[in-house]
């Protein structure tokens, strides 16, 4: 059964100390540096540390959800970006059906020699069951039964796994089922296709005895190496998060039906969130949203609680917000609007 949904950004800055955030921000194209948003200059080291504290607190909430639900497997949906695959073979979607895979700790902002191999256990039997079920439902995912990254062979698995999974599962004691989606390289899957993939996953897992959670890795709006690098489309991000809170699946299925500079680049990672929304088919709880220029991403965190953990999960999120109210002296009612479903600015 599929009983818990999670989602978060996976930007490299999220997993680095504040001293490295200026380095992250500096790696935008040279031609964009003279046209950055004025709000980027307001992100002092103290502000960035505040972002990091909020990121850590939000991941705490997601971990609490996992601990409360106690899944036997975690499906991880996200993009590849040329790690597992290259232009010789870049599938629209693929599922890893092997026993384990590996990646590197740290991020690409650290020297390769300072990073270490991390092994991730995988639920191969469940992955094969999912793969067969999806084929029957008209979703022809590529099968990766042997771990052999060809894009960046020395890096291992895509950072959609390597960055956030050790934070969500510190002991790495929950096996994962990675589903890779092409979210960068045209032609791209439509939002409706992603949503329906999520629905198909839920139908397949309804027949499985294992307790399964699903996690969307990546997003929201960003274009780290393109013409909008450093810019974040906050209105788009908040519109999308509100649709999740309302369980408005119809609206989010139209997100990529038109072309837009904003929807190009890394913003395509929203497809993973759409997939999980399709799988859960109920209201999400948005834990936090941060417009962080130095991370080059609109950072977001959300979950869809299992029936038996809904009250526990919401209480944990509210407690986190209350604690932040007391520490910062900000208006608690304003901050808690993020949970209640408002798009009001809280920063």
Short-list 69, 268, 63, CA closest to 172: 63
Residues 6+ apart with CB under 8 A from 48: 18, 21, 292, 294
Residues in the chain: 347
Would you call 88 exposed, middle or buried from its count of C-beta atoms within 10 A (0-12, 13-18, 19+)?
Answer: exposed
Q: Which among 31, 32, 12 has a CA at the least distance from the CA of 23?
A: 12
Q: What pTM value is reported for the model?
A: 0.88
CA 207-241-230 angle, 5° bins: 120
Please, is 61 exposed, middle or buried when counting C-beta atoms within 10 Å of its C-beta (0-12, 13-18, 19+)? buried
What is the DSSP-derived secondary structure letter of residue 185? S
Digitized pLDDT (tens) for each residue of the chain, 347 residues in all: 999 999 999 999 999 999 999 999 999 999 999 999 999 999 999 999 999 999 999 999 999 999 999 999 999 999 988 888 988 888 999 999 999 999 999 888 898 888 999 999 999 999 999 999 999 999 999 999 999 999 888 899 999 999 999 999 999 999 999 999 998 888 999 999 999 999 999 999 999 999 999 999 999 999 988 899 899 999 999 999 999 999 999 999 999 988 888 888 888 899 999 999 999 999 999 999 999 999 999 999 999 998 654 444 445 445 545 554 555 554 443 333 343 333 333 33
């Amino acid at each position: 059964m599929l009983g818990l949904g999670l989602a978060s950004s996976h930007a490299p800055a999220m997993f680095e100390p504040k001293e490295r955030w200026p380095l992250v921000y500096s790696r935008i194209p040279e031609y964009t540096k003279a046209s950055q948003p004025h709000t980027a200059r307001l992100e002092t080291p103290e502000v960035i540390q505040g972002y990091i504290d909020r990121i850590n607190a939000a991941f705490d909430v997601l971990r609490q959800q996992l601990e409360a639900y106690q899944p036997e497997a975690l499906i991880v949906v996200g993009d590849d970006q040329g790690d597992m695959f290259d232009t010789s073979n870049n599938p629209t979607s693929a599922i890893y059906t092997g026993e384990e895979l590996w990646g590197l700790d740290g991020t690409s902002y650290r020297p390769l020699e300072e990073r270490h191999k991390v092994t991730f256990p995988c639920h191969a039997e469940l992955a094969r069951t999912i793969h067969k079920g999806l084929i029957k439902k008209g979703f022809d995912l590529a099968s990766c039964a042997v771990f052999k990254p060809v894009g960046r062979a020395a890096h291992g698995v895509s950072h959609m796994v390597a960055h956030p999974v050790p934070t969500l599962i510190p002991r790495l004691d929950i096996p994962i089922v990675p589903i890779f989606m092409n979210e960068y390289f045209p032609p791209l899957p439509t939002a409706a296709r992603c949503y329906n993939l999520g629905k198909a996953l839920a139908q397949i897992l309804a027949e499985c005895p294992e307790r399964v959670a699903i996690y969307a890795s990546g997003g929201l709006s960003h274009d780290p190496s393109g013409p909008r690098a450093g810019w974040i489309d906050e209105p788009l991000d908040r519109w999308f998060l509100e649709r999740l809170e309302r369980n408005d699946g119809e609206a989010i299925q139209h997100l990529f039906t038109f072309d837009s500079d904003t929807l190009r680049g890394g913003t395509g990672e929203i497809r993973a969130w759409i997939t999980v929304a399709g799988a859960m088919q109920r209201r999400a709880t948005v834990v936090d949203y941060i417009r962080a220029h130095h991370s080059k991403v609109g950072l977001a965190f959300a979950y869809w609680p299992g029936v038996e953990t809904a009250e526990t999960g919401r209480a944990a999120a509210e407690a986190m917000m209350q604690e932040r109210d007391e520490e910062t002296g900000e208006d608690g009612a304003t901050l808690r609007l993020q949970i209640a479903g408002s798009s009001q600015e809280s920063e």
